[in-house]
Amino acid sequence: MILIKNEPADTATLMRLYPVNTTESQILRILLSDEGRHNFSSEERLDFELKLRSEIVRAAEALNRSRLAFRVFRESFCNKEYWDRMPDGGFALKASVKPSEAVRDIYKNSHKYGTECATAMLIVYYKSLLEVFGDEAFDNTFTRIYLMNWYRIEPLLREVGLMGRADVYLPGDRRYFKNPDVDPATPELQGENVIDLGGGFYYGHGFGRHRAEVFIKMLNRNRADDADEEAYLMDTAGNPNYGKLYEAYRRAQTALERTA
């Protein structure tokens, strides 16, 4: 059930706003059919989340088609024109470049980059935010980007590092396949961060775009000799704080209007 300001949404009107077979309409159908209450402060706030989730899926699909290499942190590499590779293997945005151009370069020159799955998730989030905010608003909002994992995250994205139980799973969610009995020789395969693409498919950097059973099968190939527990998809999800991002988006757009 979708609520707008605690009142039931006009279902027919909402469905007419988004073309059939789009990620937005798929998310709407899931929310409308769920017995839980999904409350939004306004239709604009709902629209923002639908668009951002759609862009998260689109950015993940594009990264899957790219030449971004899988590398553990000690072997990571990046395009030095836009990023500084730090001692911990993360990528820090150079002060002399625009954030929008640096993020786009990862997709344009993906062969110049290599990192692991958590960093790939952050790349997906920044690319999706860039598409929703637009270049100028994005540059004004995300001025200090550090790409690594959940420990040095931009404050506006801090919540993506947290996984919690969910009553309903949506395209754009971050999910995690856990490999509890991982082979000690391949600790990087203790699990895989993925983006829910909808339709039963997930994207995980280094693994590709597959259904859940394929991720489980690939992780099971990297278990200890005495393993007795198979890999599995955790019943948790991670997401940015869409409400906080929406307010940041509104502030950025207002600031641009004042200077126009």
Tens digit of each residue's pLDDT, the chain (260 residues): 999 999 999 988 998 999 999 999 999 999 999 999 999 999 999 999 999 999 999 999 999 999 999 999 999 999 999 999 999 999 999 999 999 999 999 999 999 999 999 999 999 999 999 999 999 999 999 999 999 988 888 899 999 999 999 889 999 999 999 999 999 988 989 999 999 999 999 999 999 999 999 999 999 999 998 888 999 999 999 999 999 999 999 999 999 999 87
The 3-class secondary structure across 143-188, one letter per residue, is: CCCEECCCCCCCHHHHHHHCCEECCCCCCCCEEEEECCCECCCCHH
Per-residue exposure over 45-74, b if at least 16 CB sit within 10 Å of its own CB, e if not: bbbbbbbbbbbbbbbbbebbebebbbbebe
Residues 236, 146: Cα–Cα separation, whole Å:
25
Residue 192: the pLDDT is 96
Phi/psi of residue 163, nearest 5 degrees: -110, 135
Q: Under a CB-based contact definition with an 8 Å cutoff, are residues 69 and 123 in contact?
A: no
Residues 123, 205: Cα–Cα separation, whole Å:
11
The verdict on pTM exceeding 0.85 is yes
**All residues at 6 or more sequence positions from 133 whose CB lies less than 8 Å from its CB, including other chains:** 141, 249, 252
* CA–centroid distance for 1 within its chain: 24
Q: Copy the structure tokens of residue 5.
A: 């300001």
Please measure the distance between the N-terminal and C-terminal CA atoms of the chain and give it in whole angstroms: 40
Residue 179: the pLDDT is 96
H-helix segments, 18-147: 23-33, 43-65, 99-108, 117-133, 135-141
Residue 138: the pLDDT is 98
Residues 37, 4: Cα–Cα separation, whole Å:
10
In this structure, the dihedral spanned by the alpha carbons of residues 133, 3, 162 and 82, taken in order and rounded to 10 degrees, is -10
Residue 3: the pLDDT is 94
Residues 2, 7: Cα–Cα separation, whole Å:
8
Q: Copy the structure tokens of residue 129.
A: 């935010």
Residue 151: the pLDDT is 81
Residues 188, 112: Cα–Cα separation, whole Å:
21
Residue 166: the pLDDT is 87
User: Hey, where are the domains in the chain?
Assistant: 2-163+238-259, 164-237
3-state secondary structure of 194: strand
Residue 225: the pLDDT is 87
* CA–centroid distance for 14 within its chain: 25
